[in-house]
Amino acid sequence: MGKHMQIEDLGLKDYKETWEYQEFLFQKILQIKSSNRNEKLNRETPNFFLFVEHPHVYTLGKSGHIENLLISEEKLKSIDAKFYKINRGGDITYHGPGQIVGYPILDLENFFTDIHKYMQFLEEMIILTLAEYNIKAERSKGETGVWIDVGTPFARKICAMGVRASRWITMHGFALNVNTDLGYFDNMIPCGIKGKAVTSLNVELGKPEIPLEEVKEKLLKHFLVLFEAEINEKTEA
């Protein structure tokens, strides 16, 4: 009960438009929860999982520092990138083509009310997916996201994470570098962590390109197992 997922692949979509869509889905869940509480109803709240690619964009979380963006507004325009301050946790992050971004919009009361466990499950989904490509990825103590070669001078981040949860409803999520142009990371201090490199799946495998649909299938498979969820065939929002 309550663990049905509606999966949507939004393709290449502007960050702000996607953010507004997340807010729409958030409010949809919140309205059902509120009416359940106020009217003593027991209607099931929906859960959504959005896949998307964004055009070049830098986003700064509510606890982030603007000085971690290393380029001017003029330079942003010259590289065809946008910048937004947003309401998730974390510092600065880059999104762009070739990166799989996932936004689970969940009512955690359908699963468990533990935001730390939620973050761990998202990290585990990435770790298990990368293991299918024979890449040993792991967590780095005190640092969000998923990393390779933790504890060595070659530590590098392959997946960034930043979430928001209000009334146990989640927003935002993860960004996995698959075929990402890593040059765009030179314009910021990734997640505010100095001296750490970033990488992508195609670089680690030494291949020009990895099929995004293939990676998405693996991510979704592990997500459904970890959250003991199942796909709801109805896709309308």
Residue 90 annotated in ligand binding: yes
Residue 103 annotated in ligand binding: no
As a whole number, the mean pLDDT across the chain is 92
Taking the domains of the chain in order of start, what are their residue ranges? Answer: 4-228
Residue 162 annotated in ligand binding: yes
Cβ–Cβ under 8 Å, residues 100 and 176 = yes
Residue 93 annotated in ligand binding: yes
Give the rounded percent of residues in the chain with a pLDDT score beyond 90. 78
**CATH no. for 4-228:** 3.30.930.10
Confirm whether pTM is higher than 0.85.
yes
| Per-residue confidence in pLDDT tens, the chain, 237 aa | 679 999 999 999 999 999 999 999 999 999 999 998 888 888 999 999 999 999 999 998 888 888 999 999 899 999 999 999 887 877 888 999 999 999 999 999 999 999 999 999 999 999 999 999 999 999 999 888 999 999 999 999 999 998 999 999 999 999 999 999 999 999 998 665 666 799 999 999 999 999 999 999 999 999 999 999 999 865 444
Residue 208 has a pLDDT of 96
Catalytic amino acids? Answer: 191
The DSSP string of 76-127 is HHHTT-EEEE-SSSSSEEEE-TTEEEEEEE-BGGGT-S-HHHHHHHHHHHHH
